[in-house]
Amino acid sequence: MFVDSHCHLSFPELSSRLDEIRAAMAQAGVDRALCICTTLEEFETVHALALAHDNFWSTVGVHPDNEGVTEPSLDDLLTRAALPKVVAIGETGLDYYQMDERKGGRGIADLEWQRERFRTHIRAARQTGKPLVIHTRASSDDTVAILKEEGEDGSAGSAGGVFHCFTETAQVARAALDLGFYISFSGILTFKSAADLREVAAFVPEDRLLIETDSPYLAPVPYRGKTNDPSLVPYVARQIAELRGLPVEAVGELTSRNFERLFAGVSS
């Protein structure tokens, strides 16, 4: 009934508990999950999860925040994207959050490597016809601008994709929707401080909504502060159901259909 469209089951907090997590998913009615790649070094492990389980799929990409890892070439991404059960390019995008603190005092101009990495992923998505999984934090103007510069405008030939773990403004959501992208919400939506985000979730069209955990991070209320996993994604669906006056089962069904429409080959 429910799909976790973004999780990190290869991370040690979750990989050591995989049997337990899969049992919890089944009990919670979570029947599928997309396992997200964040480095080329990690790809084989992520891909192996997808190959080993008929209800898991994988992506290929290098997270914008990862430094000191193999820089992906276009060929690196194309070769891996052609493998079975690889359904998307990413996690990719831009992250300018707390630049001075986290990035050694560098400014936006010093992060050109992030922007070039992002462009490489967009080009891979367009060549493969597979959607992008977009991470954007404190960088939405550049994220949207680069997508447009690379031809991602929602027209024929666009790769499209999803703005995952959405925490931006309504204006950014509208820009993403105008480009043909989906919007995915995580457990943050259940936080007391997320009133503005709930307003965004209330207006995103039903046929562009996705839900996710981004586990092991961002566990929803009432599990906030604990290790997250895909079995908790129904709590995100419940929050959306409450906002829209729908049964939670309806949210599970519509987000599952959206997942199937966006990511080819993931039908149950």
Residue 224 lies in a domain: no
- CATH number of the domain that 141 lies in? 3.20.20.140
pLDDT along the chain (268 residues), means of 10: 97 97 98 98 98 98 96 98 98 84 66 96 98 96 97 94 98 98 98 98 98 98 97 98 98 98 88
Which residues, in sequence order, are bridge partners of residue 98? none
267, part of any domain: no
225 part of a folded domain: no
> What would the two tokens of residue 17 be?
């508990």
Peptide bond into 91 cis (omega under 30): yes
Rounded to a whole number, what is the largest CA-CA distance in the chain? 48
Domain-located, residue 268: no
How many structural domains are present in the chain? 1
* Structural domain span for residue 49: 2-213+231-262
Coil vs helix vs strand at 151: coil
- Whether 183 is in a domain gets the answer yes
Task: Indicate whether 219 belongs to any domain.
Answer: no
User: Rounded CA gap, 17 and 15, in Å?
Assistant: 5
CA atoms within 13 A on the CB side of 264: 11
The reported pLDDT for the residue numbered 225 is: 95
- For residue 222, being part of any structural domain is answered with no
Distance separating alpha carbons of residues 93 and 118, to the nearest angstrom: 5
State how far the Cα of 95 lies from the Cα of 132, in Å rounded to an integer: 16
Measured between alpha carbons, how far is 210 from 179 in angstroms, rounded to an integer?
16
> H or E element: which one contains 88?
strand 86-95
Q: What predicted TM-score, i.e. pTM, was given to this entire model?
A: 0.96
In a domain, residue 99? The reply is yes
Q: What are phi and psi of 53, to 5 degrees?
A: -135, 130
